[in-house]
Structure 1
Amino acid sequence: MTIRETLRARRGGPRDVDEPHAMTVSTLDADGAPDARVPILKDLDDEGWHLATTATSAKGRQLAGNPVSGAARPGRRRR
């Protein structure tokens, strides 16, 4: 799903994805092992993606230690 499609779905426009707020975010833990979670996308703006997590959560600590991450929007398109 592109950023444009995500914004359109979040604004209540024509929705072609079942869960426009869910995404998989992958980071590396302290040992360098991959760690993936499915947080809720709270907002998307010029500063970036804002996820429903805190700086003290496992995901927040991992991002603080290594800000490189990957994200996937596995939304299923409606037909």
Structure 2
Amino acid sequence: MNGLLIGRDLQDMVASRHVSGLSQIDSHWQLPKMTRFGLGIITALLLAVPFVNFLAPVLGAAMATHLVHSRREAGQ
């Protein structure tokens, strides 16, 4: 469950900052569900490792930014 929620939160966080015109829902910037789940699982697993958990939010945000931008560029 954490993987689903963290993945969705990271995707929305990046999209709200980097994708303009979010008043209309565009599917070209949204990540596929399995990719979003994988992003959330990786971040959740990094949060479980001592001392790595300090870097996990930064790494998760960087992964989400990369995935959203590559998805948005592929849709254009």
TM-score, normalised by the number of residues in structure 1: 0.31
- Whose strand proportion is higher, 1 or 2? 1
Larger Cα-atom Rg: 1
Indicate the structure whose relative CO is greater, using CA pairs within 8 Å and at least 6 residues apart: 2
- Whose helix proportion is higher, 1 or 2? 2
